Amino acid sequence: MASEEASLRALESLMTEFFHNCTTNERKREIEELLNNFAQQIGAWRFCLYFLSSTRNDYVMMYSLTVFENLINKMWLGVPSQDKMEIRSCLPKLLLAHHKTLPYFIRNKLCKVIVDIGRQDWPMFYHDFFTNILQLIQSPVTTPLGLIMLKTTSEELACPREDLSVARKEELRKLLLDQVQTVLGLLTGILESIWDKHSVTAATPPPSPTSGESGDLLSSLLQSPSAAKLLNQPIPILDTESEYICSLALECLAHLFSWIPLSTSITPSLLTTIFHFARFGCDTRVRKMSSVNGSSQNSVLGQERGRLGVLAMSCINELMSKNCVPMEFEEYLLRMFQQTFYLLQKITKENNAHTVKSRLEELDESYIEKFTDFLRLFVSVHLRRIESYSQFPVVEFLALLFKYTFHQPTHEGYFSCLDIWTLFLDYLTSKIKSRLADKEAVLNRYEDALVLLLTEVLNRIQFRYNQAQLEELDDETLDDDVRSRAEQGQLQQTEWQRYLRQSLEVVAKVMELLPTHAFSTLFPVLQDNLEVYLGLQQFVVTSGTGHRLNITAENDCRRLHCSLRDLSSLLQAVGRLAEYFIGDVFAARFNDALTVVERLVKVTLYGSQIKLYNIETAVPSVLKPDLIDVHAQSLAALQAYAHWLAQFYSEVHRQNPEQFISLVSTALEAITPLISSKVQEKLLLSACHLLVSLATTVRPVFLISIPAVQKVFNRITDTSAQRLPDKAQVLVCRALSNVLLLPWPNLPESEQQWAVRSTNHASLISALTREYRQLKSNAILPQRKVQLEDTKAIIHQTLSVLEDIVESISGESTKSRQICYQSLQESVQVSLALFPAFIHQSDVTDEMLSFFLTLFQGLRVQMGVPFTEQIIQTFLNMFTREQLAESILHEGSTGCRVVEKFLKILQVVVQEPGQVFKPFLPSVISLCMEQVYPIIAERSSPDVKAELFELLFRVLHHNWRYFFKSSVLASVQRGVAEEQMENEAQFSAIMQAFGQSFLQPDIHLFKQNLFYLETLNTKQKLYHKKIFRTTMLFQFVNVLLQVLVHKSHDLLQEEIGIATYNMASVDFDGFYSAFLPEFLASCDGVDSNQKNVLGRNFKMDRDLPSFTQNVHRLVNDLRYYRLCNDSLPPGTVKL
């Protein structure tokens, strides 16, 4: 024993040294190596058993348990059976002897180690593993320990990690399922007996806020008075031990519910018991009691009791989240809902002492979160199922949800509830669309609830009703979690913008269902705030420096600030509703829409005329941004009605268009004064966007002849005028170009006046590109730095405008595109001439290629074949191997972007139908395979790869005949004549590149390329082609299986499985007779017996589900066998 004793002392001092803050990293590494070597020794476990029973040092105990864990999970196969028996008997004894004194994390780790043995050996070699757990639970002294063992067993055995064979995983699940009924019975018993034991007897009912709560709603919810009575009993007061046992039992249930199927073994009495515990979360007296008694012990107790409510709700939500509900379980579900809505009623009950909000504030935040999750699951998964039950009062439920929503103590809680309403409104909308006949009945049922919701959401976004809360919202910083959304292409928004946007989505969905109600609710509120804004004119006085707003009293300024903020929000709301006035309902809702548009036109003109954006105010830091924002929002709201104006135009253009002409002309009068570099950018951009919409969506014939528009033309083409900021310049030029290029609606071709418009467009573009076209003459000369910067600025400004003009016209009629190209022709030739001079300036090349890419996408037909050929040839000559290497390797992201855009242009070229660009194919393929591919193949960075492989895919997909000349005769005599193959070497090289890409870690590239191969197989039968079938097929299958075995691209398991099936199914006989045996023979780390088992378990199924299941089984078991074999002690003889 001395040696064991000595080892223990040595280990304790090593551990203390390791965790001491003075120990160097170098020394820590030495100690770690020493400990690892000790753990690897055969028989080290005996020392660890001694350490566990003889030390009080936590580090030593943790280390010893890790040695056992390693032994059981990685080396168990090689442990002699005598040793295994000893370990199986000693560890549980140790646990029983010390579980009360061990620190909880050591006790839990020891439980896990014992469960790990059960995972390997139960029931064959460890037959009493589960019965021991059940006995522990049933004996009062060890109930907590038994529950911890049970939960660990559920975690480790029901969803085991991969270090087991598939057969063993299935066996374990079946064994556990056999025990479920017993286990659930035991847990129900524990919870019920604790509840009953501590229940306050009914003889002397205590003064409780719950008494007298079973109103009509409750009895209608619960149907049976006995259930209502049960739920109305006061909540028992538990001692700490009982509370601990209940929390463990509820944790067990939550984990069990995550994997057991819904079935009758989840009995009504179990559900009722869980609901009893859910009441702990919504009982505010729990908190009170703890604060009255004053001691910290009690307040901890209060939190613990709140936690029981949270755990019970977790159990309920696990059941709720299952979408597949067997028929016999539906009634249970209904009962669950009834009981939860009893809780909801309790939470939202108002009584003298409490408002609902202060009640909710007193509850545990996690409880509220769980409750909201429950409501979301109810509406999204089960509402359609439950709504049909006559005994379930949906409308009353909505009334409770309404109270719950609008009394949430936090913004996040409120957002989560708005999401639930959105789900409900979506459900209603789709229900009405699928049952148009009952539309009125459905709407009548819910009308009152929806109108209430709308009114309240509108009140919530107004400072007039909700100032205190709205002032807490941040309107400066962009949300963190929104950054990721921005990366996914969505808008970044501040907290306030998110609040407003989510609220307006709910308003819009109600508008869709109840248009007249929604409009009559919203418009008067807008009108009130407009009156204030339009009345500001009387307070404008002229001062020495300009105009001043003569409102100075602090209170008046604050009221004005609130009113302007509200007006801005309501203008956004009115804009959001524009889509509900167009299409089929145009005529029916015409008057409402006309009222709105007239008001908006009036407001925008008013703002521009009295120049509120330039006015001096008493509180400039607050009121000036407010005034600018209202002006900008009024322009944006009017822009939202562009489609309505377009429909109005097409309805009236023949009869009396005066009203329409007046609306458009007035709007333009409001816009033109704002198009100036002196106006704040927010306002300037709103004006530009409105101008673009009038020019692009509405397209009135008379636009060009309105003086206001001519003024803008002159301003833009006048070189002496100060240039607008980039964004605004681009928008105004787009608008002016569209005025001249887009066909006028409602007019025949003969009345389009193309000749005049073409001349005007040419002179517009000529004026916009004057400086750019002059660059051509001196582009060849070397430039000084200052001059170079000026040149770059001209290129940037001109190309951004031209690119935008081409992009906005790309989907339009041929005539528009012809005129556009005629005007641009000279600038395009200048760009091509400048390109070689700037090939080493990647920022300029980037912009030029963007421009050419847009030209190819929008105007390639108009450019004509000879010029297009000239462009492509120029690019192919410029992008030599050296130039490509310089761009990709040395110029960072801009250089890579240049090459990517060049490849994108080639993608457009190779997709072009017909024979025109076919002559380029050989040089495109050789550029890809001989120049670009060798540079990027070995780099780990994903740059350029995605574009290159997309180009290769397009080459194959759109030019299949370049490789496979299928003659008519061959396809008639299918199977007799093999297709002729051409350019075989290029095809093989491309396929090899695809194969190589599957060996690289980039998961996006892997997914994209797998999709390309599958598409080529679906469309062109790639896997069936002789060259693929005979020389590549099984190489690809091999690579895909290896990827699965290495788990490097686990997220794509399903896609890889399907692709493997599609490839194997081309030649199942070959797969089963030749490939599979060869694949297994080449697998290292497994012995021949294991290989035979793997081969036998792979059934010769030919349907997709069975085949992919076999693949995943093979992969799992192969990994498992390797793990087992690695763990055998060296020199083990395997028979």
Considering only CA atoms, give the Rg of the chain: 38
Evaluate whether 325 touches 385 at the Cβ level (below 8 Å). Answer: yes
Residue type, 121: D
For residues 580 and 508, give the distance between their C-alpha atoms in angstroms, rounded to a whole number: 9
Strand partners, 478: 494
Evaluate whether 915 touches 866 at the Cβ level (below 8 Å). Answer: no
What pLDDT shows up at residue 218?
44
Q: How far is CA 16 from the centre of its chain?
A: 46
Strand partners, 980: 965
Residue type, 180: V
Structure tokens at 232: 């109305």
Residue type, 351: N
Task: Reduce the DSSP state of residue 841 to 3 states and report it.
Answer: coil
Task: Reduce the DSSP state of residue 32 to 3 states and report it.
Answer: helix
What pLDDT shows up at residue 752?
92
In angstroms, what CA-CA distances link 306 with 292, 300, 516? 16, 10, 46
Q: Residues in the chain, how many?
A: 1135
Structure tokens at 526: 């807008």
- Placement of tokens 């300009």 in the chain: 546
In angstroms, what CA-CA distances link 1113 with 259, 1079, 1091, 1094? 20, 15, 13, 9
Query: Closest Cα to residue 979, out of 968, 990, 992, 991?
Result: 968
Give me the half-sphere count of Cα atoms (radius 13 Å) on the Cβ side of residue 570. Answer: 27
Segment (H or E) for 549: strand 546-549
In angstroms, what CA-CA distances link 973 with 708, 977, 979, 1025? 71, 7, 11, 16
DSSP assignment string, 658-727: HHHHHHHHHHHHHHGGG-STTS-HHHHHHHHHHHHHIIIII--GGGGGSHHHHHHHHHHH-TTSPPPPHH
What pLDDT shows up at residue 483?
40
- Placement of tokens 């060798």 in the chain: 934
Evaluate whether 1039 touches 998 at the Cβ level (below 8 Å). Answer: yes
DSSP assignment string, 203-225: TS----TTTT---HHHHHHHSSH
Average pLDDT per run of 10 along the chain, which is 1135 residues long? Answer: 76 86 88 85 86 88 92 84 92 92 93 94 91 94 95 91 85 93 94 86 43 42 52 78 94 94 82 88 57 45 74 91 79 81 82 70 86 92 81 84 90 92 94 82 88 94 89 77 44 84 93 90 92 89 78 86 94 94 91 94 93 83 90 96 94 81 94 92 96 95 91 88 91 96 91 93 94 79 74 93 95 92 94 89 91 93 88 88 83 84 93 83 91 86 90 94 72 56 92 93 93 95 92 92 90 93 93 92 90 92 94 92 76 46
Through-space distance between the first and last CA atoms of the chain, rounded to whole angstroms: 37
For residues 691 and 734, give the distance between their C-alpha atoms in angstroms, rounded to a whole number: 9
How many CB atoms lie under 10 A from the CB of residue 774?
12
